[in-house]
Structure 1
Protein backbone atom coordinates (compact mmCIF):
# COMPACT_ATOMS: atom_id res chain seq x y z
CA UNK A 1 0.00 0.00 0.00
CA UNK A 2 1.50 3.35 -1.05
CA UNK A 3 0.83 6.87 0.26
CA UNK A 4 -1.97 7.53 -2.24
CA UNK A 5 -3.73 4.27 -1.40
CA UNK A 6 -3.19 4.88 2.29
CA UNK A 7 -4.87 8.28 2.08
CA UNK A 8 -7.75 6.87 0.02
CA UNK A 9 -8.39 3.98 2.41
CA UNK A 10 -8.40 6.20 5.48
CA UNK A 11 -10.71 8.73 3.79
CA UNK A 12 -13.13 5.92 2.89
CA UNK A 13 -13.18 4.88 6.54
CA UNK A 14 -13.94 8.43 7.65
CA UNK A 15 -16.71 8.71 5.06
CA UNK A 16 -18.17 5.33 6.02
CA UNK A 17 -18.55 6.32 9.64
CA UNK A 18 -19.94 9.74 8.77
CA UNK A 19 -22.49 8.25 6.35
CA UNK A 20 -23.50 5.36 8.60
CA UNK A 21 -26.92 6.71 9.48
CA UNK A 22 -28.01 6.87 5.85
CA UNK A 23 -26.86 3.43 4.80
CA UNK A 24 -28.94 0.28 4.41
CA UNK A 25 -26.19 -1.70 6.11
CA UNK A 26 -26.33 -2.09 9.86
CA UNK A 27 -24.35 0.33 11.99
CA UNK A 28 -22.37 -2.63 13.36
CA UNK A 29 -21.33 -3.72 9.87
CA UNK A 30 -20.35 -0.18 8.93
CA UNK A 31 -18.33 0.30 12.09
CA UNK A 32 -16.56 -3.04 11.63
CA UNK A 33 -15.67 -2.30 7.99
CA UNK A 34 -14.55 1.21 8.83
CA UNK A 35 -12.35 0.00 11.67
CA UNK A 36 -10.70 -2.63 9.47
CA UNK A 37 -9.91 -0.10 6.74
CA UNK A 38 -8.77 2.61 9.10
CA UNK A 39 -6.62 0.29 11.18
CA UNK A 40 -5.00 -1.02 7.99
CA UNK A 41 -4.16 2.52 6.91
CA UNK A 42 -2.90 3.58 10.33
CA UNK A 43 -0.89 0.39 10.74
CA UNK A 44 0.79 0.98 7.38
CA UNK A 45 1.61 4.57 8.31
CA UNK A 46 3.05 3.53 11.66
CA UNK A 47 5.30 0.89 10.11
CA UNK A 48 6.53 3.24 7.41
CA UNK A 49 7.57 5.94 9.87
CA UNK A 50 8.74 3.68 12.67
CA UNK A 51 12.40 4.64 12.37
CA UNK A 52 13.07 7.86 14.22
CA UNK A 53 16.07 10.12 14.70
CA UNK A 54 17.61 10.44 18.17
CA UNK A 55 16.29 13.98 18.48
CA UNK A 56 12.80 12.79 17.54
CA UNK A 57 13.00 9.91 20.02
CA UNK A 58 13.80 12.19 22.94
CA UNK A 59 11.22 14.86 22.16
CA UNK A 60 7.91 14.51 24.06
CA UNK A 61 4.91 13.70 21.91
CA UNK A 62 2.32 16.44 21.61
CA UNK A 63 -0.15 14.20 19.73
CA UNK A 64 -3.01 12.20 21.21
CA UNK A 65 -1.88 9.44 23.57
CA UNK A 66 -3.63 6.25 24.62
CA UNK A 67 -4.38 7.78 28.04
CA UNK A 68 -6.49 10.44 26.28
CA UNK A 69 -8.96 7.88 24.88
CA UNK A 70 -8.79 4.90 27.24
CA UNK A 71 -11.44 3.87 29.77
CA UNK A 72 -9.99 4.34 33.25
CA UNK A 73 -12.62 2.31 35.10
CA UNK A 74 -11.34 -1.11 34.10
CA UNK A 75 -12.65 -4.40 35.46
CA UNK A 76 -10.01 -7.03 36.19
CA UNK A 77 -9.87 -10.52 37.72
CA UNK A 78 -7.29 -12.66 39.49
CA UNK A 79 -5.89 -15.91 38.14
CA UNK A 80 -7.99 -17.80 40.67
CA UNK A 81 -11.29 -16.18 39.64
CA UNK A 82 -13.78 -18.91 38.59
CA UNK A 83 -14.70 -19.08 34.92
CA UNK A 84 -18.42 -18.80 35.70
CA UNK A 85 -17.76 -15.51 37.49
CA UNK A 86 -15.73 -14.19 34.54
CA UNK A 87 -18.53 -15.07 32.13
CA UNK A 88 -20.94 -13.16 34.35
CA UNK A 89 -18.66 -10.10 34.30
CA UNK A 90 -18.39 -10.12 30.49
CA UNK A 91 -22.14 -10.46 30.03
CA UNK A 92 -23.14 -8.12 32.83
CA UNK A 93 -20.69 -5.36 31.86
CA UNK A 94 -21.19 -5.78 28.11
CA UNK A 95 -17.44 -6.21 27.45
CA UNK A 96 -15.54 -8.71 25.33
CA UNK A 97 -12.48 -9.35 27.52
CA UNK A 98 -11.10 -8.81 30.99
CA UNK A 99 -7.46 -8.46 32.13
CA UNK A 100 -6.02 -10.91 34.65
CA UNK A 101 -3.75 -9.24 37.22
CA UNK A 102 -1.60 -10.35 40.14
CA UNK A 103 -1.54 -8.85 43.63
CA UNK A 104 0.58 -5.91 42.41
CA UNK A 105 -1.76 -5.07 39.48
CA UNK A 106 0.65 -6.37 36.84
CA UNK A 107 -1.22 -7.80 33.84
CA UNK A 108 -0.42 -11.52 33.48
CA UNK A 109 -3.04 -12.44 30.91
CA UNK A 110 -6.43 -11.72 29.34
CA UNK A 111 -9.61 -13.80 29.28
CA UNK A 112 -11.78 -13.03 26.27
CA UNK A 113 -15.05 -14.27 24.89
CA UNK A 114 -13.01 -16.32 22.43
CA UNK A 115 -11.17 -18.07 25.29
CA UNK A 116 -14.46 -19.01 26.95
CA UNK A 117 -15.97 -20.20 23.66
CA UNK A 118 -12.88 -22.33 22.99
CA UNK A 119 -13.28 -23.96 26.40
CA UNK A 120 -16.93 -24.72 25.63
CA UNK A 121 -16.13 -26.13 22.17
CA UNK A 122 -13.39 -28.36 23.56
CA UNK A 123 -15.64 -29.58 26.34
CA UNK A 124 -18.37 -30.76 23.94
CA UNK A 125 -16.03 -32.15 21.28
CA UNK A 126 -15.69 -35.89 21.13
CA UNK A 127 -12.99 -37.16 23.46
CA UNK A 128 -9.55 -37.66 21.99
CA UNK A 129 -6.20 -38.89 23.32
CA UNK A 130 -4.62 -36.45 25.79
CA UNK A 131 -0.91 -35.68 26.05
CA UNK A 132 0.25 -36.59 29.56
CA UNK A 133 0.98 -33.57 31.73
CA UNK A 134 -0.78 -31.09 29.41
CA UNK A 135 -4.20 -29.74 30.36
CA UNK A 136 -6.79 -28.71 27.82
CA UNK A 137 -8.79 -25.50 28.24
CA UNK A 138 -11.83 -27.70 28.63
CA UNK A 139 -10.37 -28.84 31.98
CA UNK A 140 -10.12 -25.26 33.20
CA UNK A 141 -11.96 -23.99 36.24
CA UNK A 142 -10.32 -20.59 36.75
CA UNK A 143 -8.87 -17.65 34.81
CA UNK A 144 -5.32 -19.04 34.83
CA UNK A 145 -6.55 -22.15 32.97
CA UNK A 146 -8.11 -20.37 30.00
CA UNK A 147 -6.43 -16.94 29.77
CA UNK A 148 -4.30 -15.87 26.83
CA UNK A 149 -0.78 -15.16 28.07
CA UNK A 150 1.41 -13.23 27.93
CA UNK A 151 -1.01 -10.35 27.53
CA UNK A 152 -0.65 -7.82 24.73
CA UNK A 153 -0.62 -4.43 26.48
CA UNK A 154 0.10 -0.81 25.59
CA UNK A 155 1.56 1.95 27.74
CA UNK A 156 -0.71 4.89 28.54
CA UNK A 157 1.75 7.43 27.16
CA UNK A 158 2.15 5.82 23.73
CA UNK A 159 0.52 7.31 20.59
CA UNK A 160 -2.94 5.98 19.75
CA UNK A 161 -1.65 4.75 16.40
CA UNK A 162 0.63 2.32 18.25
CA UNK A 163 -2.40 0.82 19.98
CA UNK A 164 -4.09 0.47 16.58
CA UNK A 165 -1.03 -1.31 15.20
CA UNK A 166 -1.02 -3.76 18.12
CA UNK A 167 -4.73 -4.49 17.69
CA UNK A 168 -4.30 -5.14 13.99
CA UNK A 169 -1.16 -7.23 14.42
CA UNK A 170 -2.56 -9.39 17.22
CA UNK A 171 -6.19 -9.41 16.04
CA UNK A 172 -7.64 -8.29 19.35
CA UNK A 173 -10.57 -5.98 20.09
CA UNK A 174 -9.17 -4.25 23.16
CA UNK A 175 -5.90 -3.78 25.00
CA UNK A 176 -5.11 -3.44 28.70
CA UNK A 177 -3.35 -0.12 29.31
CA UNK A 178 -0.44 -0.03 31.75
CA UNK A 179 1.57 2.75 33.37
CA UNK A 180 5.33 3.18 33.01
CA UNK A 181 5.84 0.51 35.66
CA UNK A 182 3.66 -2.05 33.88
CA UNK A 183 0.67 -1.83 36.23
CA UNK A 184 -2.91 -1.85 34.94
CA UNK A 185 -4.36 1.64 34.64
CA UNK A 186 -7.11 1.36 32.00
CA UNK A 187 -8.33 -0.36 28.86
CA UNK A 188 -8.70 0.84 25.26
CA UNK A 189 -11.02 -0.61 22.62
CA UNK A 190 -11.20 -0.43 18.84
CA UNK A 191 -14.16 1.93 19.12
CA UNK A 192 -12.08 4.27 21.30
CA UNK A 193 -9.39 4.41 18.63
CA UNK A 194 -11.81 4.95 15.76
CA UNK A 195 -13.28 7.94 17.59
CA UNK A 196 -9.75 9.28 18.06
CA UNK A 197 -8.81 8.84 14.40
CA UNK A 198 -11.98 10.31 12.94
CA UNK A 199 -11.27 13.96 13.64
CA UNK A 200 -12.20 17.13 11.84
CA UNK A 201 -9.64 18.97 9.75
CA UNK A 202 -9.87 21.88 12.18
CA UNK A 203 -8.96 19.64 15.13
CA UNK A 204 -6.01 18.20 13.23
CA UNK A 205 -4.82 21.66 12.17
CA UNK A 206 -4.90 22.93 15.77
CA UNK A 207 -2.63 20.09 16.84
CA UNK A 208 -0.30 20.60 13.88
CA UNK A 209 0.02 24.28 14.75
CA UNK A 210 0.96 23.35 18.33
CA UNK A 211 3.78 21.18 17.00
CA UNK A 212 4.93 23.97 14.71
CA UNK A 213 4.89 26.46 17.57
CA UNK A 214 6.89 24.10 19.78
CA UNK A 215 9.52 23.52 17.10
CA UNK A 216 9.90 27.14 15.97
CA UNK A 217 9.78 29.01 19.25
CA UNK A 218 11.98 31.87 18.05
CA UNK A 219 11.44 33.84 14.81
CA UNK A 220 15.00 32.99 13.77
CA UNK A 221 14.06 29.30 13.73
CA UNK A 222 11.65 29.85 10.87
CA UNK A 223 7.98 30.10 10.01
CA UNK A 224 5.76 27.26 8.82
CA UNK A 225 2.12 27.27 7.69
CA UNK A 226 -0.23 24.28 7.60
CA UNK A 227 -3.32 23.44 5.55
CA UNK A 228 -5.48 20.37 6.22
CA UNK A 229 -7.97 18.77 3.85
CA UNK A 230 -9.57 15.35 4.42
CA UNK A 231 -6.76 14.44 6.81
CA UNK A 232 -3.99 15.43 4.38
CA UNK A 233 -1.64 18.02 5.91
CA UNK A 234 0.32 20.34 3.62
CA UNK A 235 3.28 22.12 5.22
CA UNK A 236 4.84 25.23 3.67
CA UNK A 237 7.47 27.65 4.88
CA UNK A 238 11.08 27.63 6.02
CA UNK A 239 13.00 26.52 9.10
CA UNK A 240 16.56 27.10 10.18
CA UNK A 241 17.93 23.56 9.88
CA UNK A 242 17.19 20.44 7.84
CA UNK A 243 16.85 18.35 11.04
CA UNK A 244 13.99 20.65 12.11
CA UNK A 245 12.16 20.06 8.84
CA UNK A 246 12.58 16.28 9.13
CA UNK A 247 11.45 16.28 12.76
CA UNK A 248 8.39 18.42 12.07
CA UNK A 249 7.18 16.14 9.27
CA UNK A 250 7.70 13.07 11.48
CA UNK A 251 5.75 14.61 14.37
CA UNK A 252 2.84 15.62 12.15
CA UNK A 253 2.63 12.11 10.68
CA UNK A 254 2.01 10.72 14.18
CA UNK A 255 -0.92 12.98 14.94
CA UNK A 256 -4.15 10.99 15.19
CA UNK A 257 -6.27 11.50 12.08
CA UNK A 258 -3.43 12.49 9.75
CA UNK A 259 -3.40 10.20 6.72
CA UNK A 260 -0.75 11.93 4.61
CA UNK A 261 1.81 14.75 4.90
CA UNK A 262 2.78 16.88 1.88
CA UNK A 263 6.05 18.47 2.92
CA UNK A 264 7.08 21.70 1.16
CA UNK A 265 9.14 23.05 4.06
CA UNK A 266 12.52 24.52 3.07
CA UNK A 267 15.56 24.78 5.35
CA UNK A 268 18.39 27.30 5.63
CA UNK A 269 21.29 24.87 6.04
CA UNK A 270 21.82 21.14 6.02
CA UNK A 271 23.02 20.13 9.47
CA UNK A 272 22.79 16.44 8.53
CA UNK A 273 25.11 16.59 5.52
CA UNK A 274 28.17 15.25 7.37
CA UNK A 275 26.47 12.65 9.56
Structure 2
Protein backbone atom coordinates (compact mmCIF):
# COMPACT_ATOMS: atom_id res chain seq x y z
CA UNK A 1 0.00 0.00 0.00
CA UNK A 2 1.48 3.32 -1.09
CA UNK A 3 1.42 5.94 1.63
CA UNK A 4 0.25 9.29 0.30
CA UNK A 5 2.75 11.99 1.14
CA UNK A 6 2.59 15.77 1.19
CA UNK A 7 4.53 15.77 -2.10
CA UNK A 8 1.66 13.84 -3.71
CA UNK A 9 -0.90 16.57 -3.00
CA UNK A 10 0.96 19.85 -2.55
CA UNK A 11 1.11 22.75 -5.00
CA UNK A 12 4.74 22.95 -6.11
CA UNK A 13 4.55 26.41 -7.69
CA UNK A 14 5.42 28.59 -4.72
CA UNK A 15 4.96 32.35 -4.73
CA UNK A 16 7.00 34.02 -2.00
CA UNK A 17 7.69 37.49 -0.65
CA UNK A 18 10.63 38.79 1.33
CA UNK A 19 10.60 40.31 4.77
CA UNK A 20 10.88 43.76 3.18
CA UNK A 21 7.97 43.38 0.74
CA UNK A 22 5.50 46.26 1.25
CA UNK A 23 1.86 45.79 2.26
CA UNK A 24 0.41 46.72 -1.14
CA UNK A 25 2.80 44.44 -3.02
CA UNK A 26 1.75 41.54 -0.82
CA UNK A 27 -1.92 42.28 -1.50
CA UNK A 28 -1.25 42.42 -5.25
CA UNK A 29 0.65 39.14 -5.08
CA UNK A 30 -2.26 37.40 -3.35
CA UNK A 31 -4.80 38.76 -5.83
CA UNK A 32 -2.71 38.09 -8.95
CA UNK A 33 -1.92 34.54 -7.87
CA UNK A 34 -5.43 33.74 -6.67
CA UNK A 35 -3.96 32.56 -3.38
CA UNK A 36 -4.77 33.28 0.25
CA UNK A 37 -1.27 33.28 1.78
CA UNK A 38 2.40 33.44 0.88
CA UNK A 39 5.57 32.30 2.65
CA UNK A 40 7.98 35.00 3.73
CA UNK A 41 11.63 34.18 3.05
CA UNK A 42 14.87 35.64 4.36
CA UNK A 43 17.95 36.58 2.34
CA UNK A 44 19.02 32.91 2.23
CA UNK A 45 15.68 31.79 0.84
CA UNK A 46 14.51 30.13 4.06
CA UNK A 47 10.90 30.41 5.20
CA UNK A 48 10.61 32.66 8.26
CA UNK A 49 6.86 33.30 8.32
CA UNK A 50 3.54 33.33 6.48
CA UNK A 51 1.38 36.29 5.47
CA UNK A 52 -2.28 35.60 4.81
CA UNK A 53 -5.32 37.56 3.73
CA UNK A 54 -6.36 37.60 7.39
CA UNK A 55 -3.09 39.30 8.35
CA UNK A 56 -3.69 42.05 5.79
CA UNK A 57 -7.32 42.49 6.74
CA UNK A 58 -6.40 43.22 10.35
CA UNK A 59 -5.35 46.71 9.27
CA UNK A 60 -8.84 47.57 7.97
CA UNK A 61 -10.54 45.63 10.77
CA UNK A 62 -8.61 47.54 13.45
CA UNK A 63 -9.27 50.85 11.76
CA UNK A 64 -12.99 50.12 11.46
CA UNK A 65 -13.29 48.89 15.03
CA UNK A 66 -11.39 51.65 16.76
CA UNK A 67 -11.11 54.66 14.48
CA UNK A 68 -14.37 54.97 12.54
CA UNK A 69 -15.61 58.55 12.39
CA UNK A 70 -12.40 59.73 14.05
CA UNK A 71 -13.04 57.89 17.31
CA UNK A 72 -9.95 57.43 19.47
CA UNK A 73 -10.40 54.67 22.07
CA UNK A 74 -8.96 54.79 25.57
CA UNK A 75 -5.41 53.54 25.90
CA UNK A 76 -6.50 50.52 27.96
CA UNK A 77 -8.81 49.40 25.13
CA UNK A 78 -5.99 49.56 22.61
CA UNK A 79 -3.70 47.64 24.92
CA UNK A 80 -6.21 44.79 25.11
CA UNK A 81 -5.58 44.16 21.41
CA UNK A 82 -1.77 44.23 21.15
CA UNK A 83 -1.58 41.62 18.40
CA UNK A 84 -4.26 43.25 16.27
CA UNK A 85 -2.75 46.68 16.86
CA UNK A 86 0.72 45.49 15.85
CA UNK A 87 -0.59 43.80 12.70
CA UNK A 88 -2.70 46.84 11.88
CA UNK A 89 0.36 49.06 12.07
CA UNK A 90 2.45 46.75 9.89
CA UNK A 91 3.70 48.00 6.53
CA UNK A 92 5.99 45.13 5.47
CA UNK A 93 5.85 41.35 5.41
CA UNK A 94 8.15 41.17 8.43
CA UNK A 95 5.66 43.22 10.47
CA UNK A 96 2.55 41.48 9.14
CA UNK A 97 3.61 37.85 9.04
CA UNK A 98 2.79 35.06 11.44
CA UNK A 99 6.07 33.69 12.77
CA UNK A 100 7.54 31.19 13.36
CA UNK A 101 5.89 29.47 10.40
CA UNK A 102 4.21 26.06 10.61
CA UNK A 103 6.07 23.95 8.05
CA UNK A 104 6.19 20.34 6.94
CA UNK A 105 8.47 18.10 4.88
CA UNK A 106 7.36 16.89 1.43
CA UNK A 107 8.11 13.32 2.58
CA UNK A 108 5.69 13.56 5.52
CA UNK A 109 2.45 11.61 5.35
CA UNK A 110 -0.50 13.62 4.04
CA UNK A 111 -2.42 12.73 7.19
CA UNK A 112 0.35 14.36 9.24
CA UNK A 113 -0.27 17.61 7.39
CA UNK A 114 -3.97 17.39 8.23
CA UNK A 115 -3.21 16.84 11.91
CA UNK A 116 -0.72 19.70 11.98
CA UNK A 117 -3.24 22.09 10.43
CA UNK A 118 -5.85 21.02 12.95
CA UNK A 119 -3.46 21.34 15.90
CA UNK A 120 -2.42 24.89 14.95
CA UNK A 121 -5.77 25.95 13.45
CA UNK A 122 -4.24 26.97 10.11
CA UNK A 123 -5.51 26.43 6.58
CA UNK A 124 -2.20 25.87 4.84
CA UNK A 125 1.41 24.86 5.48
CA UNK A 126 4.64 25.82 3.82
CA UNK A 127 6.40 22.69 2.56
CA UNK A 128 10.16 23.02 3.01
CA UNK A 129 13.24 21.00 2.22
CA UNK A 130 15.87 20.02 4.78
CA UNK A 131 17.41 23.49 4.56
CA UNK A 132 14.13 25.24 5.30
CA UNK A 133 13.62 26.50 1.74
CA UNK A 134 10.13 26.34 0.21
CA UNK A 135 9.30 23.57 -2.27
CA UNK A 136 5.51 23.79 -2.11
CA UNK A 137 2.33 24.76 -0.32
CA UNK A 138 -0.23 22.29 1.01
CA UNK A 139 -3.72 23.47 1.88
CA UNK A 140 -6.85 21.91 3.30
CA UNK A 141 -8.25 21.87 -0.22
CA UNK A 142 -5.27 19.84 -1.42
CA UNK A 143 -5.88 17.27 1.31
CA UNK A 144 -9.56 17.00 0.47
CA UNK A 145 -8.53 15.90 -3.03
CA UNK A 146 -7.42 12.62 -1.49
CA UNK A 147 -11.09 11.76 -1.07
CA UNK A 148 -11.87 12.38 -4.74
CA UNK A 149 -10.45 9.07 -5.96
CA UNK A 150 -12.86 6.96 -7.97
CA UNK A 151 -14.58 4.02 -6.30
CA UNK A 152 -12.91 1.69 -8.83
CA UNK A 153 -9.43 2.95 -7.90
CA UNK A 154 -10.12 2.49 -4.20
CA UNK A 155 -11.54 -1.00 -4.73
CA UNK A 156 -8.51 -2.00 -6.79
CA UNK A 157 -6.07 -0.80 -4.12
CA UNK A 158 -7.95 -2.56 -1.33
CA UNK A 159 -8.14 -5.77 -3.35
CA UNK A 160 -4.57 -5.81 -4.67
CA UNK A 161 -2.48 -4.02 -2.04
CA UNK A 162 -4.35 -4.89 1.16
CA UNK A 163 -6.03 -8.23 0.66
CA UNK A 164 -3.87 -9.94 -1.96
CA UNK A 165 -0.43 -8.68 -0.92
CA UNK A 166 -0.66 -7.02 2.49
CA UNK A 167 -2.21 -9.67 4.71
CA UNK A 168 -0.32 -12.84 3.73
CA UNK A 169 -3.43 -14.95 4.36
CA UNK A 170 -6.15 -16.44 2.19
CA UNK A 171 -8.54 -13.61 1.24
CA UNK A 172 -10.20 -15.29 -1.73
CA UNK A 173 -13.49 -15.36 0.17
CA UNK A 174 -13.56 -11.59 0.74
CA UNK A 175 -15.74 -9.35 -1.42
CA UNK A 176 -14.87 -5.64 -1.83
CA UNK A 177 -17.56 -3.11 -2.70
CA UNK A 178 -17.06 0.67 -2.79
CA UNK A 179 -19.75 3.32 -3.13
CA UNK A 180 -19.00 7.03 -2.75
CA UNK A 181 -15.75 6.19 -0.94
CA UNK A 182 -17.42 3.90 1.60
CA UNK A 183 -15.87 0.43 1.48
CA UNK A 184 -17.87 -2.66 2.42
CA UNK A 185 -15.91 -5.82 3.14
CA UNK A 186 -18.02 -8.96 3.19
CA UNK A 187 -17.42 -12.69 2.91
CA UNK A 188 -15.46 -15.06 5.06
CA UNK A 189 -11.93 -15.32 6.41
CA UNK A 190 -10.21 -17.94 8.49
CA UNK A 191 -9.62 -16.02 11.74
CA UNK A 192 -11.38 -13.17 13.52
CA UNK A 193 -8.13 -11.29 14.16
CA UNK A 194 -7.43 -11.36 10.41
CA UNK A 195 -10.74 -9.61 9.69
CA UNK A 196 -9.89 -6.89 12.20
CA UNK A 197 -6.54 -6.27 10.49
CA UNK A 198 -8.20 -6.15 7.07
CA UNK A 199 -10.70 -3.55 8.26
CA UNK A 200 -8.01 -1.44 9.93
CA UNK A 201 -5.68 -1.47 6.89
CA UNK A 202 -8.53 -0.70 4.51
CA UNK A 203 -9.41 2.38 6.56
CA UNK A 204 -5.91 3.75 5.92
CA UNK A 205 -6.26 3.72 2.14
CA UNK A 206 -6.40 7.22 0.66
CA UNK A 207 -9.88 8.17 -0.43
CA UNK A 208 -11.67 5.83 1.96
CA UNK A 209 -14.43 7.70 3.77
CA UNK A 210 -15.57 4.79 5.95
CA UNK A 211 -15.35 1.00 6.18
CA UNK A 212 -18.37 -1.23 6.78
CA UNK A 213 -17.45 -4.57 8.33
CA UNK A 214 -19.64 -7.45 7.15
CA UNK A 215 -16.92 -10.09 7.41
CA UNK A 216 -17.40 -13.43 9.13
CA UNK A 217 -14.76 -15.93 10.24
CA UNK A 218 -14.25 -19.63 10.84
CA UNK A 219 -12.23 -19.41 14.05
CA UNK A 220 -12.52 -16.89 16.85
CA UNK A 221 -8.88 -16.56 17.85
CA UNK A 222 -9.38 -13.32 19.76
CA UNK A 223 -9.89 -15.30 22.95
CA UNK A 224 -6.54 -17.03 22.40
CA UNK A 225 -4.72 -13.69 22.37
CA UNK A 226 -6.37 -12.68 25.64
CA UNK A 227 -4.89 -15.66 27.48
TM-score, structure 2 length as denominator? 0.72
Q: In the aligned structure 2, how far is the partner of 1:265 from the partner of 1:67?
A: 38
Residue number in structure 2 paired with 1:238: 189
The structure whose Rg is larger is 2
- Cα-to-partner distance string for 1:131-180 (whole Å, 9 max, x where unaligned): 5xx66222212212111233333443344444445545655443322346
State yes or no: 1:114 paired with 2:54: yes
TM-score, structure 1 length as denominator? 0.62
Residue number in structure 2 paired with 1:50: none
Residue number in structure 2 paired with 1:136: 86
Q: In the aligned structure 2, how far is the partner of 1:149 from the partner of 1:260?
A: 37
State the number of aligned residues. 209
Deviation at residue 115 of structure 1 after TM alignment: 0.5
Q: In the aligned structure 1, how far is the partner of 2:131 from the partner of 2:189?
A: 41
Residue number in structure 2 paired with 1:222: 170
Task: Tell me the secondary structure at the aligned position of residue 17 of structure 2.
Answer: coil
Q: In the aligned structure 1, how far is the partner of 2:107 from the partner of 2:136?
A: 12
Q: Which runs of 5+ in 1 are unaligned?
A: 1-60
Cα RMSD over matched residues?
3.3
Q: In the aligned structure 1, how far is the partner of 2:131 from the partner of 2:200?
A: 27
Classify 1:141/1:272 alpha carbon distance in 2 versus 1 (closer, same or farther; 3 Å).
farther
- Cα-to-partner distance string for 1:172-199 (whole Å, 9 max, x where unaligned): 4433223467543211233333333122
Task: Tell me the secondary structure at the aligned position of residue 258 of structure 1.
Answer: coil
Task: Tell me the secondary structure at the aligned position of residue 67 of structure 1.
Answer: helix
